[in-house]
Amino acid sequence: MKRVKNIIITFALAIGSVSCVSKLAYTEPELPLPEKFQYTATADTASIANLEWKQFFSDPILQELIEKGIRNNYDLQIALKQVAASQEKLKQAKYMQYPDVGFGVSGQISKPSKNSMNGQSLNLFLGQSHVEDYNAAFNLSWEADIWGKIKNQQEVSRMQYLQTYEGSKAVQTQVVAAIAQGYYNLLMLDRQLAIAKSNLELSSNTLLITQKMWESGDTTSLGVQQASAQKQATELLISQLEQNIAIQENALSILVGETPNKINRTIEMSDTSLPRNISAGLPAAMVSRRPDVRQQELVLLESNAMVGIAQANMYPALKITANGGVNSFKFDNWFQIPASLFGSVLGGITQPIFQKRQLKTDLEVAKIQREKNVLAFRQSVLNAVGEVSDALVSNENLKVQEQKASEQAATLKEGIKSAQLLYKGGSANYLEVITAQGNSLQAELNLASIKRQRLSSIVDLYRALGGGWK
């Protein structure tokens, strides 16, 4: 009883020492963050990324597509399965401080040589040539977490779970942005198709007028050929745009987890609306909001816990083992209580002395890995700031480009009317009319493209700031 008492005292002291050990302290690294984003006038605390995606995108058709994407997109579903698997591991990690308990039943029959000492002893004392042994016992093993190794292992599991959670949010922001980009691209193609069809009508009228003038001898066959070629070029453009629309519809369908199909849309690109106040907020807030940056910080926290584990492996380990049950050398009295009862308790402290420098190497490698993750975290922050800055400068410049392109398209559209009137009056030739129509077509196509680019830059800014996962 005294020995068991001593083991229990040692056991209690080990438990008491656990509360004195904490996990390795974490110091957040200095980050390359400016006070405000470039291309912003003031450091405004408000940010469009704080808006839920349903508030940011007001178009009901786009909202429906995004809802389908969040529900059905396979990349997002895979990410959510990773979260579920990591959550199960986290649940298991909560039981790491408890002892391992097992139960085993065994039976053994041994028949030694008759010429051996054991064989002769059996025959002499038991009057038989074999010996039986039947055992049924519970086995317990427990290691005291004196140096915080188990706590750090639990911390690793927690950080890995949070990484998958942040990873799923990052995937959602990408899916939401990709659906919006695809939708706006589809509206641009619709607009360009309408422009091309309108230009085709003008080209057909020009060809008709040119043919009549050729028949009356007021122009050459070359004029008819040029007008016909202009009409054919527009027809080719229409066919290409219709192909691109079908491909974009297929891509959007797949993105929302459906088989390729038509995408219903009731508005034109000119009717789309996004928040007018495009505020970026503070860089520090972006770091805490953006899922991929947060995920990289969690990787750093995980590596910090791994350093703690590597340190704990170099210190003594206290292990308690115990087993107890029933044992007998005869089957018929195996479960006679209390005669068949047995039990044992063993406590031991193990200190690694010479492991071929393995433990020291593990510690140094863990520290180096932590330093690598510090650099990776800083790089992710720098990349995020760069993406926000790119989106801001794109949006500002595209506003100017859209204004200039709109003015150019209006001017060239008026130029078509003038060219047609002059052509009918004989004051302009067919080349001037064809050139005016071609320039107007190109200007209107370019204006639609710039409008789509501006919408895309705002969506890019929303994603770069960490919006889209709420």
Average pLDDT for residues 251-280, to the nearest whole number? Answer: 84
Is the entire prediction scored with pTM above 0.95? Answer: no
The 10s digit of each residue's pLDDT in 190-223 is 999 998 998 888 777 777 777 776 767 666 677 7
Average pLDDT for residues 85-94, to the nearest whole number? Answer: 88
Residue 65 has pLDDT above 90, yes or no: yes
CA dihedral of 238, 240, 243, 245, whole degrees rounded to 10: -70
Q: Which pLDDT does position 18 carry in this prediction?
A: 43
Beta bridge partners of 141: 100, 321
Rounded to whole angstroms, what are the CA distances from 115 to 108, 110, 131, 133, 407?
A: 21, 15, 15, 22, 113
The 10s digit of each residue's pLDDT in 373-403 is 999 999 999 999 999 999 999 988 998 998 9
Q: How far apart are CA 308 and CA 302, in angstroms?
A: 10
Q: Which pLDDT does position 21 carry in this prediction?
A: 47
70-79, 338-347, 455-464 — which is least confidently predicted? 338-347
Beta bridge partners of 106: 135
- Residues with Cβ < 8 Å from 126, sequence gap 6 or more? none
Query: Mean pLDDT in the chain?
Result: 83
Residue 187 has pLDDT above 90, yes or no: yes
Q: How far apart are CA 238 and CA 243, in angstroms?
A: 9
The 10s digit of each residue's pLDDT in 311-340 is 888 888 888 899 998 998 888 888 888 888
Distance of CA 254 to the CA centre of its chain: 18
Distance of CA 332 to the CA centre of its chain: 63
Q: Which pLDDT does position 255 carry in this prediction?
A: 92
Q: How far apart are CA 427 and CA 353, in angstroms?
A: 103
